Amino acid sequence: MDQHTSEIVDYYTLRYREDQRLSARPQARLEWTRTTQLLRDLLPGPGARVLDIGGGTGEYARALAVDGYEVRLVDLVPSHVEQARSGQPPIEARVADARALPDADGGYDVALLLGPLYHLVRRADRVRALREAVRVTRPGGHVVAAVISRFAGPLDFAATGRLDERLLDEARTLLTDGTNDPRIGFTHAYFHRVEEITDECAAAGLTDVVVHGVEGPAWPAAEAAAGGPAQDAVFAAALDLARLYSTEPTLLGSSAHLLAAGRVPPR
């Protein structure tokens, strides 16, 4: 395990509660709601075999299992794997790196990458992970991958009143360099432009790739309204716009997360 990978594992083991993330903030609740809706729209019917790569503590895996999918999870962080195994319903899970999966070729109908691409700073590693997802998915099956938008951090800081001069300088840097500076509060990460994730999916061999904006353009408004009298109305409106503008090209990058879905071609 290289130093960056070890630091990422330490971050999620010692400093961050991934199991609480998707219920904590308006942005996270929009992410959860829209991602689960999109998965239900994009995936084949219940009974399909799903590999949740980098599935964390199993929140999405459990939702799919309850819906009737046959789900297996792999994650880089041992404590995440233990939480996935011990949750309700328990998820079959093991420790593995998205770049070198232990699974056989074509064993799944769907491969999900709802986290690993965040933390692979080098394009070659991201394409390698996507190719591994393609390898373990049957021809005609689906690969669905999430990335963080290049503009998520600055929009979040602005919406919550934290965009000071230092973070404004970071926003300028992000215009040309998507690599996160771990010193500002997150771990090693890469933030995507829409055209980058589209290109990486194509390089991995996926076809019919469609990119969705997960939280939509109004998620900063939901963050800004949190705790105020209009918070519920603003959240509901943000969710409506996220659905309406899910694939609108001119607004995709304004979402905090992007979800790319493609098909595995014939061998």
- Determine contact, residues 138/106, Cβ cutoff 8 Å: yes
Q: How far apart are the first and last CA of the chain?
A: 32
Q: For residues 62 and 74, what is the distance between their CA atoms, to the nearest angstrom? A: 13
The tens digit of pLDDT for each residue in 155-180 reads 999 999 999 999 999 999 999 999 98
User: How far is it, in rounded angstroms, from Cα 199 to Cα 211?
Assistant: 11
Count CA atoms within 13 Å of residue 78 on its CB side.
3
Residue 15: its pLDDT value, please?
84
Per-residue pLDDT reduced to its tens digit, 74-114: 999 999 999 999 999 999 999 999 999 999 999 999 999 99
What are the domain boundaries of the chain? 3-263
| Three-state secondary structure call for residue 211 | strand
Encoded tokens for 205: 């061999």
| CA distance linking residue 103 with residue 170, whole number of Å | 39
Tell me the residue type at 256.
A
The helix/strand/coil state of 200 is helix
Work out the pLDDT band at 122, boundaries 50, 70, 90. Answer: very high
Distance CA 159, CA 33 (A): 20
In the predicted model, what is the mean pLDDT of residues 190-195?
98
pLDDT in tens, 13-35: 988 888 888 888 999 999 999 99
CB atoms near residue 217 (< 10 Å)? 20
The length of the chain is 267
Asked if the 3-263 domain carries CATH number 3.40.50.150, the reply is: yes
DSSP state string for 131-169: HHHHHTEEEEEEEEEEEEETTHHHHHHHHTT---HHHHH
Question: Alpha helix locations (H) across the chain?
Answer: 3-10, 26-42, 59-66, 78-86, 123-135, 152-159, 165-174, 194-203, 219-225, 231-244
Token match 């390698």: residue? Answer: 128
pLDDT exceeds 90 at position 230: yes
Q: Can you give the pTM of this predicted structure?
A: 0.95
Q: Token digits for 196?
A: 């980058």
CA 31 – CA 37 distance, rounded (Å): 10
